Chains A and B, each alone.
Chain A
């Protein structure tokens, strides 16, 4: 259970009955009293249950009303400049949006009907006048059409049991034929004011792939665009900019593409095609980069043109994401909640903070709550409702401790430097193409020869024991490293012996040093070692003195760098053959001169 010192645990309510999706939380100043509240649209736990729109003051429920369907998204925004400024709550359900003011319903907007297929129209015109025996003929005509493009009435007719058809047709005939699409995502965009409570338009993305900008004062559509040239279903939407000035809308679709829609475009453009479904999407207002969290445990960042800037691997699959704008330290952080309750905050690709909560977070919102400016609200799967306040003193620094853990996939986006291929390279490639089989056979033959050489050398090394690592046949392999300290004539040889075996001990090991007694004097050439256990190297040191000529204070004349060696033998009690018989090259003795310049 990690906690972070940057956050205050203000309030938390365990096992309350708030169950919400990320798009169904919104924070607003509900009564214009400077005390921000949380409004959440809750989806029912069982199919028969009712959805509810709830308003919370802190963690106490202050208002609750039933909703006529399962909510898709909730938005709060201002529609006019009148004083006192009371926000409007918009709840998208199915194909309509319910507007609330002061938590009282005051308008219902329904999306315009989609065009009806002419064949379908034709069928419905004929049906009321037909004999019941001929119904089947017409219904078959409807069945030939794509079920998704039929109106609701036709869909029901197609699947209706034969006995009910007559009654059904009678019910329908008096009504107009209408086809509605569902709202899949919503967002708001401010008209022109940079003020947080400026007038905003509501953006509705529909299942049919349309994006509708709705002026909620007159309830007129101010702009309408397609998500993309081909049929896609938007699922996530993120907005940056102002309607009157310039804006960019990033739309994530169920098919995995990310589209961008700019001012006065009638059709968005696909900029990214992802292989995995998206969980969170956000275009950062300052950096103007697109952050995407995918189901394959990655957090990616793209430029506005769709170029991948970086990618970070996550430890667990993400459940939701929210971006945190901290104007007082001019930072934009990305907060990602993961399965198991881990919540991580990223600054660019660097992990800057993390904490865990008791259960997997299902929805998050960041903004003003109560009188605090920087509050993170977390709703977990089991219905807990946690409020965390960011400390005013909190700073987010890139900490190297966190980051090396994340480098695994982080470098994937770094630019590869590919030099121009020279003419020589092309010539060599041609040679390779021409003699492919000869080259291959030659290489294979030589590779076998190399294997033989390597094996032979290995055998030689084992037999001669002239190695710094002993063979691991029958006993634990021991690695020897030697270091010579000192300027001379007195040196100290430090031997480091390490047991490289996985778990086997190496008992009864002795060390013997051997040097030419005309050149060197070894004080204590032999040492018996304690049992070597894997993972803890033993250091042992020996004093060795170069014998100096008493006349001129120089080393003996026949001591050359070639024969200035000391032999180290590692012996195992009861074995005649040494495990290791390595040589150490001794450095030359520095001249002993007192009056050196």
Chain B
């Protein structure tokens, strides 16, 4: 009797999202009787919830020019049908011509999601740790992204079970536990192969039925996580035909993005949108795909639509802000960033963006307070480097070249391979007549950004002055 009451309390706690406390309580119960099914399920759920990451959000985008990528269909795709050729069609788009590009020529997006940050222009993420270069399969990242081994969470009872010794066929009949088990395996343990085995065993056992659509979707998810999008495609298709769930559609569209078929991805989303009109997650995915395809106008339109449906959607707001900023309307960007700020987001990047908007929008009294806050909030060395780099523009705009130099040096001291900062330092050295210094900075910038036109151009100009 008492057990049941605790259980109820636990469920109550669980729904209040107090995972830690639930854990503790279930541990107590399990230590009493390790074959107790209710607490076991509850513990799995609570542990999963503690580390749950919406892995659909953790979109890698695409890996450009990966020689080992055998998933893409056409090696020489027609313009407009591929993400790889998308970078070449942009010149006609005109308006946001000055939006910075990533190292592979893609326009910068407005929001850093896991996987997008590694492509910032001018920074050295790539060269320093070579994360995100094609030679890494990225599987470790996928597995670790949400798995508990990433967070060192103390577990008073030790691990719940050895997932490697789990026999999936034992759970095919137990409908109440199997889904929780899958999520536990997938999200908490990060054992995708085992999770996939479980999916397959259940699909094999049940053959038919509406309840299988969830399992097909999970099967696709597992394949996708294992980096086999072509295997995931049929399963997700079955699932989405049975029930057009946004998650499934998103997974399927991600499959198409991975195999470089953006038009098919858009088709999946728009089919699903017909059944589920104005679903924000689907619209967001559409916006992202448009952005990847370099169709910035369409992307901005989509994000505006999202912002109307859901005025607190941070991604939509920040993407619109970026669109305005690089469309030479910093004052409009400022409005959107302020809205994000008023929603309670206090991050170094946001303050940095606010500062830049104020600077270029002519709100001079607010520029430096924003940057001061950004500096205070900058924790990682990349953040520090970025903020100092941006502060150097304030210094340049106010004509204080010495301060600009100091800021850039601080940026470099945080991130030794910040190519843009090295380039700017070289230009400043050139302006103040320190030719030798400029020469060595140019050489360093060229080392970091080997194929940057800006550095090349500056260097040519520099050599021409001889």
Which residues on A are within 8 Å of B, measured CB to CB? 404-405, 407-408, 417-419, 422, 424-425, 428-429, 431-432, 435, 438-440, 442-443, 446-447, 449-451, 453-455, 457-458, 461, 466-469, 479-485, 487, 496, 498-503, 534-535, 537, 552, 554, 557-558, 560-561, 582, 584-591, 596-597
Contact = CB atoms under 8 A, between A and B. Distances in A.
Given A450-B368, A500-B437, A560-B150, A422 B413 contact: no
B433 to A, nearest CB: 12
B406 A455 contact: yes
B413 A461 contact: yes
B124 to A, nearest CB: 8
A485 B130 CA distance: 7
B328 A443 contact: no
B228 A404 contact: no
B143 interface: yes
A587 B132 CA distance: 11
B372 A443 contact: no
Among A424, A446, A451, which residue has the most Cβ atoms of chain B within 10 A? A446
Contact of B414 (A453, A467, A585): A467
B416 A479 contact: yes
Among A432, A480, A589, A590, which residue has the most Cβ atoms of chain B within 10 A? A590
Interface string B91-134: 00011010000000000000000000000000010011111000
B226 A424 contact: no
B136 A479 contact: no
A483 B127 contact: yes
A376 B86 CA distance: 46
Given A407-B457, A487-B136, A469 B416 contact: yes
Contacts of B414: 467-468
B375 interface: yes
B434 interface: yes
A261 to B, nearest CB: 37
Nearest to B438: A502
Nearest to B436: A502
Given A404-B460, A432-B363, A557-B149, A458 B436 contact: no
Given A481-B447, A534-B436, A585-B129, A461 B332 contact: no
Contact of B152 (A451, A499, A557): A557
A535 B442 CA distance: 10
B441 A500 contact: yes
A485 B133 CA distance: 11
Given A417-B94, A419-B329, A468-B415, 9 more contacts: A408-B464, A446-B367, A450-B395, A458-B409, A479-B444, A498-B447, A499-B440, A560-B150, A588-B140
A428 B363 contact: yes
A468 B367 contact: no
Contacts of B444: 479, 498, 500
A418 B413 CA distance: 37
B431 to A, nearest CB: 16
Interface string B401-430: 001001101101111110000000000000
Contacts of A480: 416
**In terms of DSSP, what is the predominant structure of the interface of chain A?**
mixed
B248 to A, nearest CB: 21
Contacts of B130: 483-485, 587
Given A404-B460, A417-B95, A428-B362, A447 B413 contact: no
* Among all A-B residue pairs, the 8 with the closest Cβ atoms: A468-B416, A446-B368, A467-B413, A502-B436, A442-B365, A439-B365, A443-B364, A590-B140
B129 A468 contact: no
A283 B436 CA distance: 46
Contacts of B150: 560-561
A498 B416 CA distance: 11
Contact of B328 (A419, A440, A535): A419
B372 A450 contact: yes
A561 B147 CA distance: 13
Given A453-B375, A468-B414, A498-B440, A588 B328 contact: no
A469 B140 contact: no
A133 to B, nearest CB: 71
Nearest to A593: B193
Contact of A481 (B141, B417, B434, B443): B417
Contacts of B361: 425, 428
Contacts of A484: 128-130
Nearest to A558: B152
Interface string B311-338: 0000000000000000111011011000
A582 B416 contact: yes
Contact of A457 (B127, B196, B400, B410): B410
B234 to A, nearest CB: 16
